[in-house]
Structure 1
Amino acid sequence: MMSAKLWAPALTACALATSIALVGCSKDPKGAEQAAAAQQMPPTEVGVIAAQPQSVEQTVELTGRTSAYQISEVRPQANGVVLKRLFVEGSYVREGQPLFEIDSSIYRANLDSAKAEVLRAKANLNTLQIKLKRYAQLVGINAVSKQEYDDLVGQVNLAKAEVSAGEASVKNAQINLGYSTVRAPISGQSSRSSFTPGALVTASQAEPLVTIRQLDPIYVDINQSSSELIRLRQQLSKGSIDRSNNTKVRLKLEDGSYYNIQGDLAFSDAGVNPDTGTVTLRAVFANPNHLLLPGMFTNAEIVQGVIPNAFLIPQVAITRTPTGQATLMIVNAKGAVEVRPVETAGVKDTNWIVTKGLQAGDKVIVDGVAKVKPEQQVVAKPYQPQAAQQAGQPAQKPAQEAKPAAKTEAKTEQKATSNT
């Protein structure tokens, strides 16, 4: 009994040592294999582009609406009944084209009366002028007093004034008669009209007979935030961008297509709308086919200026830190990854506009950013977007197919462990 008690601790110690040895033997080969695989793993391949400075147009996309270049609300300047409508509603009318004919009988009668008054005044003047010639001869021989001659001279001048007043009345009557035919003050597209023959109209009435809009050219009113306008002016004052040429505007229509004619920025409003905090910009576009109509919603791309010596870097290459600092990765001369902080000035298409932090010829990592870390040795190859997409799609399939294999290996290891 005493001998069994003495051998029990020794046997327990031997069993524990044997299990530790077995565990150590089972782990050491795996660690060795991993270390060997790490030593034999080739450097990661990344797709890079060579940074090249260029002049980049800085654009901003803003919302806006179209408005007519000129609008004329045609109202009558004469009283009367509409006799005829001389145009087709919605048609294009030219400046001076007759639109409506108003009853002109009263105005024609007034013109005839004014002309008759002129004839009467001219006849009276003619009689006084003949009499004045006779008095001029008689006053020389004192057959007529000087006072009578002067009175006759005054009557002749008064008759001349009456003739002039009569001629002015004729012109006024002719103008009023002309108002009986309502003409287009501008060329443009006519609207519908609610006045038909037989309607009574009055001079300067509130409701227009028809509205005419000039559509070629056409305005586009754009709203820009005051903060964006301040930033642009600060860049102009610093010389960061060049705005020597006229500002061009591209128009994106409601269906997503682009208008095929570029416009020019006409002016910027002098005040900020206190309700919206925006400034109204107005652009002018040629509209020969009348594709643009007043009131259409559009997106306007405005070329605010040209940034010299800027770099266009794909958006996937740039990340931001929690503080908002933009960074990208480059491959330095030693073939190692280097993190570079940069400054951006907006977006152009699918690229960031980088203004500071890069030099010409820097190899910017575009493909494989998530697979590398700073100071890691990599192999740089030219970035090819199509090849990267084609390679990225099938790369996910083996990972999915590898899951059953991984489960099989795990089951095999569990069986082996249980057998052990």
Structure 2
Amino acid sequence: MTRSPYRLLALSLVVALTVSACGGGGEGAPQGGPGQVTVATLKAEQVGLTRELPGRTNAFLVAEVRPQVSGIVARRLFTEGGLVTAGQPLYQVDDASYRAEANSARAQLARAEATANAARLSARRITELAKVDAVSQQDLENAVAAQKQAEADVGAAKAALDAANVTLGFARITAPISGRIGKSSVTQGALVSAGQADALATVQQLDPIYVDLTQSASELLQLRRELASGRLQDNQSLPVTVLLDDGTEFDHKGTLEFSEVSVDPTTGSYALRVKVANPDQVLMPGMYVRAVVGSGVRDNALLVPMQGVARDAKGDTSAMVVGKDNKVEVRPVKVSRALGSKWLVEDGLKPGDRVIVEGLQKIQPGMPVQATEMGAAPAKPATPAAAAAADKQ
């Protein structure tokens, strides 16, 4: 009983020496063999490049309804917010005075026609008498001149009647274009005047509809340089995808109509206009949208998953690749734009490079690794029974 403490002390020393011998490989020795990583092997492919631009919707046609005569609004002939067609009556202005003017002009025309008919008959008789020298030459000339003056008076009376009818027609205000009409700024009984500043209502054609976009002028210059160098092939004729404010894709594709020829000096951007079919009138003027516009097609492009590219505090980007002898290498890379979940590589990588996308926290440059291709089924881990059998062998 007295020697038991010494026996416990000796046993503790043996255990300590055993543990020390098991860990004697040094701190830098790899534990458990090569690190397990997932890689993405880069392949050259053809990529269609697009740019997502902000914009606002604008009506295809806009017409303000204004009175061309003065008077009291007798009736409003449309429903606010409804659809109207070109030529459809919208307002009726009290036209009593204009109708009286038209009737007066019609009476003046009838009088002028009667006078012209009498002058015509008189000139015919005097012409017959002049053939037998029964009247003087002066009388003949006066009769012919009176006939022509009477005919001119008929023309003037017709023109006056036409003008009166036009003015009378303006008393019924019609829709200048087809589209959806907004609220009315006047009610029945209001006094309107020709040339007034305020419009009575506004009609907008919403199918199709315009989407006005803005793009940086520097981005345009870069695009032109790439097209001129042959790195890109033009694909601006492709349909334009419109994204709504909530991120959903609009059902109908648009077409690029034109690009502005000048740059806004205050913003350094220029405008593009896209025309989009809008049969259900989901898009309304003034809505904020984004449009995906094609900028070019690049051949032999390299795309690397975003998780395989790291960025330091200075903004420099790099990637870890599996190099010779399955050891980790660090490559400085240059990427330009995001295409979905991948970066477009401009420099630093080449086809066939295996970029590490998973397991980056467990590796260091120069460390040997065992790589599994991204998307491939991972190797099944060994069961405890299989591991014990392997140890016995």
TM-score, with structure 1 as normaliser: 0.79
User: Which segments of structure 1 move beyond 6 Å, counting only runs of 4 or more?
Assistant: 25-28, 385-388
Which of 136, 147, 165 is 2:127 aligned to? Answer: 136
Aligned to 2:205: 214
- Spell out the pairing of 1:33-44 with structure 2 (5 A cutoff): 33-34=25-26, 38=29, 41-44=32-35
SS in 1 for 2:352: coil
2:242 corresponds to 1:251: yes
- 1:377 counterpart letter in structure 2: P
Which of 6, 9, 24 is 1:32 aligned to? Answer: 24
Whether contact under 8 Å (1:309, 1:355) holds in the other structure is no
CA RMSD of superposed structures (Å): 2.9
**Whole-Å Cα distance in 2 between the matches of residues 375 and 160 of structure 1?**
109
**Whole-Å Cα distance in 2 between the matches of residues 86 and 112 of structure 1?**
26
Which of 191, 200, 208 is 1:200 aligned to? Answer: 191
Whether contact under 8 Å (1:58, 1:346) holds in the other structure is no
SS in 2 for 1:236: helix
Aligned to 1:13: none
Identity %: 39
Aligned to 1:261: 252
Aligned to 1:411: none
Deviation at 1:380, TM superposition (A): 2.0
Deviation at 1:320, TM superposition (A): 3.9
**Whole-Å Cα distance in 2 between the matches of residues 145 and 371 of structure 1?**
128
**Deviation per residue, 1:381-420 (Å, 9 max, x gap):** 11139989xx9xxxxxxxxxxxxxxxxxxxxxxxxxxxxx
SS in 2 for 1:121: helix
**Whole-Å Cα distance in 2 between the matches of residues 227 and 48 of structure 1?**
36
Deviation at 1:277, TM superposition (A): 2.7
Deviation at 1:292, TM superposition (A): 1.2
**Whole-Å Cα distance in 2 between the matches of residues 313 and 349 of structure 1?**
11
**Whole-Å Cα distance in 1 between the matches of residues 201 and 373 of structure 2?**
65
Cα gap change, 1:135 to 1:124, in 2 (>3 Å): same
Aligned to 1:101: 92
2:230 corresponds to 1:239: yes
Whether contact under 8 Å (2:98, 2:164) holds in the other structure is yes
**Whole-Å Cα distance in 2 between the matches of residues 276 and 385 of structure 1?**
48
SS in 1 for 2:79: coil
- 2:24 counterpart letter in structure 1: A
Aligned to 2:66: 75
Deviation at 1:338, TM superposition (A): 3.5
Whether contact under 8 Å (2:209, 2:278) holds in the other structure is yes
Whether contact under 8 Å (1:247, 1:304) holds in the other structure is no
Deviation at 1:207, TM superposition (A): 1.2
Deviation at 1:247, TM superposition (A): 5.0
**Deviation per residue, 1:271-310 (Å, 9 max, x gap):** 3333333323222221111111112222333222222221
Whether contact under 8 Å (1:64, 1:220) holds in the other structure is yes
Unaligned runs of 5+ in 2: 1-13, 382-393
Aligned to 1:110: 101
- 2:224 counterpart letter in structure 1: R
Deviation at 1:185, TM superposition (A): 0.4
SS in 2 for 1:32: coil
Cα gap change, 1:113 to 1:265, in 2 (>3 Å): same
Aligned to 2:276: 285
Deviation at 1:221, TM superposition (A): 2.2
**Whole-Å Cα distance in 2 between the matches of residues 276 and 292 of structure 1?**
26
- Spell out the pairing of 1:359-370 with structure 2 (5 A cutoff): 359-370=350-361
Unaligned runs of 5+ in 1: 1-21, 392-420
Deviation at 1:40, TM superposition (A): 7.3
Structure 1 stretch 260-269 or stretch 116-125: which is displaced more? 260-269
- 2:184 counterpart letter in structure 1: S
Aligned to 1:6: none
Aligned to 1:177: 168
Structure 1 stretch 38-47 or stretch 178-187: which is displaced more? 38-47
**Whole-Å Cα distance in 1 between the matches of residues 31 and 78 of structure 2?**
88
Structure 1 stretch 280-289 or stretch 336-345: which is displaced more? 336-345
Aligned to 1:352: 343
Q: What is the aligned length?
A: 366
Deviation at 1:314, TM superposition (A): 0.9
Whether contact under 8 Å (2:37, 2:356) holds in the other structure is yes
Whether contact under 8 Å (2:235, 2:295) holds in the other structure is no
**Deviation per residue, 1:318-347 (Å, 9 max, x gap):** 124666554323334643334444432311
- 2:147 counterpart letter in structure 1: V
Structure 1 stretch 294-303 or stretch 117-126: which is displaced more? 294-303
Cα gap change, 1:385 to 1:156, in 2 (>3 Å): farther
- Spell out the pairing of 1:320-359 with structure 2 (5 A cutoff): 320=311, 324-332=315-323, 334-359=325-350
- 1:367 counterpart letter in structure 2: E
TM-score, with structure 2 as normaliser: 0.84
**Deviation per residue, 1:105-125 (Å, 9 max, x gap):** 111111111111111111111
Cα gap change, 1:385 to 1:131, in 2 (>3 Å): farther
**Deviation per residue, 1:179-206 (Å, 9 max, x gap):** 1111010111111113111111111211
Deviation at 1:28, TM superposition (A): 6.6
- 1:96 counterpart letter in structure 2: G
Structure 1 stretch 345-354 or stretch 326-335: which is displaced more? 326-335
Please tell me whether Structure 1 or Structure 2 has the larger radius of gyration of its CA atoms.
1
